[in-house]
Structure 1
Amino acid sequence: MSGLERATELDDAAVVARARAGDLDAYEVLVAHYTAAAHRAAVLLGAGADADDVVQEALVKAYRGLSRYRGESGFRPWLLAIVANETRNLHRSRGRRDGVLLRAVRQEMPEPAPDPADTAEANERRQRLVDQLRRLDRRDREVLVCRYLLDLSEAATAVALGWPKGTVKSRTARALGRLREHLAEDEHLAGEEGTDD
């Protein structure tokens, strides 16, 4: 853990302690500091247009649950775990499949280079990646989103998804392997289509 991460955790611990004691201004500091990360997590986990509602509900639940916060892994992973649960609740309640996540990933990706050839190639690669992410099951997609799109550590991903750290490590490896296989199959099929002309 870097010095900055340790300092942030110490600062968070002090702010959380004040919020637990009823200091609403202290909780507002936490809200201001972590709303953007919570929103990004909600979008990437598939909340789509409902991300604001998911984040609002997660922040309310976090405030109500401050007495249960143990601080072992930091406030951010704890809050992101609540966001992940709220996003899952959203999926269950509206009965949709996880295609929403993939549309959100497309929206969150940075703008490609202005060169038209580079743009076309980058868009094609991005589309292939998104298509292959869609083929993964929900749990594989969730772990890859947390680890690589939200840039969470294994420990923070474990907290966010409610899994043991070993499960995060093994599922990440398997999910990356499956993604590579899907991408290789896609590349092979694209090569075969190119030779048919």
Structure 2
Amino acid sequence: MDGQECELAPRSDGALPDLDDAALVELARGSGAGAFDELVRRHQGPAYRTARLLVGAEDAKDVTQDAFVKAYGALERFRPGSPFRPWLIAIVLNEARDHRRAAGRRVAAVARFGGRRTVEAEPDELALAAAGRAELLTALRTLPERDQLVLHCRYLLDLSEAETADVLGVAPGTVKSRSARAITRLRERMNEGTGR
């Protein structure tokens, strides 16, 4: 799985890819066979990369699958006319946070009973170009979570400011200011690492 996209849904017969996300959601709400599978196929890459950023490669597939299961169960609450991807990414973020909290509790329990175990998240290597990728990702991982999330949504998932605002539950202006500050902090971290 490392270095590759997560494949959660089987390929369809090709009849549904012509439909937009809104039509697929409506079909999936009913009993449209394969409609939700097509949504999974379309959005599994960004969902997986988001999970991987927060929980590492080892647990990203499980988090992604759990998020899609929750999304399927919550389709009735999806607002018609809203973009599907930001709604889904918000679910992935919540699943990843829950997973990290649970992992932290497991680590604490193991430590209390004499064992030593660390949970180490791996950076998202899928969405960035080759040159300087490891350095950039290392610097990104040192930023506060809210900086990581805004940069991930805006630049790794290529969501608009409005879509990122939906995912993070903030105003679009907040996305703009957080992005600017996060980029400044990221540049500083990268300069520290290179001694510039």
User: What TM-score do the two structures reach when normalised by structure 2?
Assistant: 0.73
Q: How does 1:89-104 map to 2 (within 5 A)?
A: 89-95=98-104, 100=121, 103-104=122-123
Work out whether 1:45 is the aligned partner of 2:45. no
Q: How far apart, CA to CA, are the structure 1 residues paired with 2:87 and 2:119?
A: 23
Aligned to 1:158: 165
Aligned to 1:172: 179
Q: How far 1:60 sits from its partner (Å)?
A: 1.0
Q: How far apart, CA to CA, are the structure 1 residues paired with 2:173 and 2:138?
A: 28
Q: How far 1:58 sits from its partner (Å)?
A: 0.9
- For residue 104 of structure 1, give the secondary structure of its aligned residue in structure 2: coil
Q: How far apart, CA to CA, are the structure 1 residues paired with 2:80 and 2:172?
A: 17
- For residue 20 of structure 2, give the secondary structure of its aligned residue in structure 1: helix
Aligned to 1:116: none
Work out whether 1:32 is the aligned partner of 2:32. no
Q: How far 1:53 sits from its partner (Å)?
A: 1.0
After superposition, the CA RMSD in angstroms is: 2.6
Q: How far apart, CA to CA, are the structure 2 residues paired with 1:23 and 1:148?
A: 33
Q: Is the 8 A contact 2:150 2:175 kept in 1?
A: yes
Unaligned runs of 5+ residues in structure 2 are 1-16, 108-117
Q: Which of the pair is proportionally richer in helix?
A: 1
Q: How far 1:33 sits from its partner (Å)?
A: 2.1
Q: Is the 8 A contact 2:154 2:161 kept in 1?
A: yes
Q: How far apart, CA to CA, are the structure 1 residues paired with 2:62 and 2:147?
A: 25
Q: Is the 8 A contact 1:154 1:168 kept in 2?
A: yes
User: What TM-score do the two structures reach when normalised by structure 1?
Assistant: 0.73
Q: Is the 8 A contact 1:15 1:29 kept in 2?
A: yes
Q: How does 1:31-180 map to 2 (within 5 A)?
A: 31-95=40-104, 100=121, 103-105=122-124, 107-108=125-126, 112=130, 122=131, 125-180=132-187
Q: How far apart, CA to CA, are the structure 2 residues paired with 1:91 and 1:171?
A: 23
Alignment size in residue pairs: 167
Aligned to 2:8: none
Q: How far apart, CA to CA, are the structure 1 residues paired with 2:81 and 2:166?
A: 10
Query: Structure 2 vs 1, CA of residues 36 and 181 (structure 1 numbering), >3 Å: closer, same or farther?
Result: closer
Q: How far 1:139 sits from its partner (Å)?
A: 0.8
Structure number with bigger Rg: 1
Aligned to 2:9: none
Aligned to 2:189: 182
Query: Structure 2 vs 1, CA of residues 135 and 11 (structure 1 numbering), >3 Å: closer, same or farther?
Result: closer
Query: Structure 2 vs 1, CA of residues 180 and 19 (structure 1 numbering), >3 Å: closer, same or farther?
Result: same
Query: Structure 2 vs 1, CA of residues 134 and 19 (structure 1 numbering), >3 Å: closer, same or farther?
Result: closer
Unaligned runs of 5+ residues in structure 1 are 1-7, 113-121, 192-197
